[in-house]
Amino acid sequence: MSPSRIRFALCCFAVSMTLSPLCAAHDVIPPDWCVQDQHEPKIVARFDMDGKELKGFLAKCGIVEKDKWRGATKGAIEYCKLAAPKDNAVPFVLGPDSYLSDHHHTVYELDDGINGACAVCVPRTQRGSKAATSGR
């Protein structure tokens, strides 16, 4: 998937988050995240862990949850904190389907793994000025 398509998907996801009571109830991403004028999401890291990698990461972080979906979610949040500690990055989980399912608390298993991206909300002018100074 191209970077512009991912940015577009993140923007759409951020807007849909404000309208989704399910997402707000789970508190994965604040409902008002990155909806300010002249701001846009920027991907700062990606994650793609199979079941073994995910279980190892959760163990290293001391994350133990009966609800496997909540455990994986806490793992994604922690991964993004480690990937961009000063930027307050938030996770956008893109798969697997069992994680995204309406019945995720009952069908998702850690063996399914997890993949997605960590994003931060930056002013549009900030991205332009960095590109200008780097010669891109």
Q: Which residues make Cβ contacts (< 8 Å) with residue 45, sequence separation at least 6?
A: 79, 80, 83, 84, 89, 117, 118
Using one digit for the tens of pLDDT, what is the confidence trace for 88-111? 899 999 999 999 999 999 999 999
Domain ranges of the chain: 3-127
Structure tokens at 9: 């998907």
Strand arrangement, sheet containing 90-95:
39-49, 114-123, 90-95
| Range with top average pLDDT, 59-63, 80-84, 129-133 | 59-63
pLDDT digits (tens, 9 = 90+) for 11-44: 444 444 433 333 434 557 878 888 888 899 999 9
pTM of the full structure: 0.72
C-alpha span between 100 and 40 (Å, rounded): 23
